[in-house]
A and B are shown apart, each in its own frame.
Chain A
Amino acid sequence: MSKASHKGIKLQVVDDRPLTPCCPGEQPAVSPVNISEANWVVGQLETNTGPVYRVATALDRSDLWGAVKARWGVGRMNYTVPPGLYAIGAPDENAAVLVSANYKLSFDSLRRELSGLNLWLLVLDTNGINVWCAAGKGSFGTAEVARMVGRTGLARLVSHRTLILPQLAAPGVAAHEVRRRCGFNVVYGPVRAADLPAFLRAGNKADAAMRRPSFTLRDRLVLTPLELTSLIKPLSGFALFLFLLNLSAALLKGNPLALLPLLGHTIDHLVPFVVAVLVGAVLVPALLPYLPGRALAWKGLVLGVLWAFAYTALTPGAESWLRNTAHFLIIPSITAFIGLNFTGSTTYTSLSDVIKETKIAFPLIAMAAGLGLIALVAAYFV
């Protein structure tokens, strides 16, 4: 069902006419394409710039299911809303104008906070990317804001000249430039959509807490599924590698070739590494503020070494010294690498810092992993 409605909105409202100069735009706010089929549309508003779709402020099951799928990387790239002007409630010419990205998750997390309000919602074309990333890449930028203000004829629709942008759009938008280009004043709203009603009630004022991105346990773990799905492939490759090692060791030593024991050994040998991946992808984000040090690879390394010790302690005497050496080299490499990778998911790492950390950490990780692999292979044949 969500698929059908998705098809409906994939018909782009946007056109490919050259960029229109900002205000006054002469085109209708929304072209008559059947967004009306979308599950999040609840009616239409007639305005002097043409019909405007009214958007639901409650999420239904297909929205929630879509969010789950996007989190696991399914159909993530097409999870968009057609850019254009929308209405929340019954806005009039004095109603505030919110500006947002056209990534459906951003759009959903915004509208679900707006029930009971009367607002205009200007959805930019950010290529289906969330506000912060789009601002960093420039697709949520000064030019796009001015272009959409022009194309929707916003200046003829509202009597005021204020746009409320998410604060995290600021890396892409120059407020003073927007004013120069289309006469609208940019006010940066709160970081979180949930604070918008309070922000509006306070007369477009954000307090200090509204200006700070949170990075709670939940925020830190929300990207873990995506990290895990991206690790399934290399992990399967590694499993196959271990199976082939077991097989060739059995052949060389002239052991009988039985599939079940071979598989059993492979799984036994795989366990410490699978747990290492989980330690890196789940425990590093979860324990982030409590782990020692500042560098993310270091935080991962600490947990990896702990797990390598724990595994050795849990299997006393069961493993050869070569295999133990391999564990102590490879497991921390895995957790340190996943930790390093987590930089992109945090809310506070800067590019210069990450370049510095990567330059130091990555060669060490690669070297340790390489030596560990040699030890691991050797463990099968000595």
Chain B
Amino acid sequence: MKYRYLKNVVTLQMDQEKCSGCGMCLEVCPQQVFTYAENVSWITDRDACMECSACARNCPRQAIKVRQGVGCAYAVLMDRFKLKGICCKDACRCSLDNIPDP
């Protein structure tokens, strides 16, 4: 299943004029934000975007713009109060480096 966060907030933008239809953004997006049609890429699920910027960085035509960042309230608060903490308790999204129990 696909998890969803807030609506109409993300900064993702695409200049479809520049798109060559190479498909790279579709390949790297972990949230399946794009679909491919008429030889170009389309943003079809913007709210699912997590602003990881994989698409923007890997677009050879620089057709995509997005503010890159990690969606972590702890980091946001640390930054807001000018505190130095270890980022994300140094454990953000580590859940992807899973090791099953012995």
A interface list, Cβ under 8 A from B: 59, 61, 63-64, 67, 73, 76-77, 103, 105-106, 108-109, 112, 129-133, 135-137, 167-168, 170-176, 188, 191-192, 206, 208, 211-213, 215, 218-220, 222-223, 226-227, 230, 288-289, 294-296, 340-341, 343-358, 362
Contacts and interface: CB of A to CB of B under 8 A. Distances in A.
Given A175-B58, A354-B72, A212 B90 contact: no
Contacts of A226: 89, 91
Contact of A133 (B58, B70, B76): B70
B28 A289 contact: no
A193 to B, nearest CB: 9
Contact of B50 (A208, A223, A348, A355): A348
Interface of B: 1-7, 9-11, 24, 27-32, 48-54, 57-58, 60, 67-77, 80, 87-99, 101-102
A345 B71 contact: no
Contacts of A295: 5-6
A226 B93 CA distance: 12
A191 B67 CA distance: 22
A213 B91 contact: no
A172 B29 CA distance: 13
B1 A109 contact: no
Contact of B10 (A61, A167, A176, A350): A350
Given A191-B96, A350-B5, 20 more contacts: A73-B91, A130-B94, A133-B87, A167-B30, A175-B24, A176-B58, A191-B30, A192-B96, A211-B30, A294-B5, A341-B73, A344-B74, A345-B92, A347-B3, A347-B95, A353-B71, A355-B76, A356-B6, A357-B6, A357-B73
Contacts of B7: 294
B96 A213 contact: yes
Nearest 6 Cβ contacts at the A-B interface? A351-B69, A344-B72, A349-B71, A170-B54, A350-B51, A170-B28
Contacts of A108: 99
Contacts of A171: 52-54, 57, 68
A353 B68 CA distance: 12
Contacts of B3: 215, 288-289, 346-348
A327 B88 CA distance: 29
A341 B31 contact: no
> Which label, helix, strand, loop or mixed, suits the secondary structure of the B interface?
loop
Contacts of B90: 76-77, 129
A325 B11 CA distance: 41
A333 to B, nearest CB: 14
Chain A interface helix/strand/loop/mixed? helix
Contacts of A344: 70-75, 88-89, 92-93
A348 B10 CA distance: 12
B69 A348 contact: no
B66 to A, nearest CB: 9
Given A349-B5, A349-B50, A350-B10, A67 B99 contact: yes
Nearest to A354: B71
A134 to B, nearest CB: 11
B101 to A, nearest CB: 8
Contact of A136 (B9, B10, B68, B96): B68
A206 B5 CA distance: 26
Contacts of A294: 4-7
A59 B99 contact: yes
Given A188-B27, A348-B5, A131 B98 contact: no
A133 B92 contact: yes
Contacts of B98: 109, 218-219, 222
A289 B94 contact: no
B42 to A, nearest CB: 17
A346 B88 CA distance: 11
Contacts of A61: 102
Contacts of B74: 341, 343-344
A215 B30 contact: no
A354 B73 contact: yes
B86 to A, nearest CB: 8
A343 B96 contact: no
Given A133-B88, A136-B70, A358-B77, A348 B31 contact: yes
Contacts of A129: 90
A170 B95 contact: no
A111 to B, nearest CB: 11
B95 A222 contact: yes
- B4, B30, B91 interface centre (most CB from chain A within 10 Å): B91
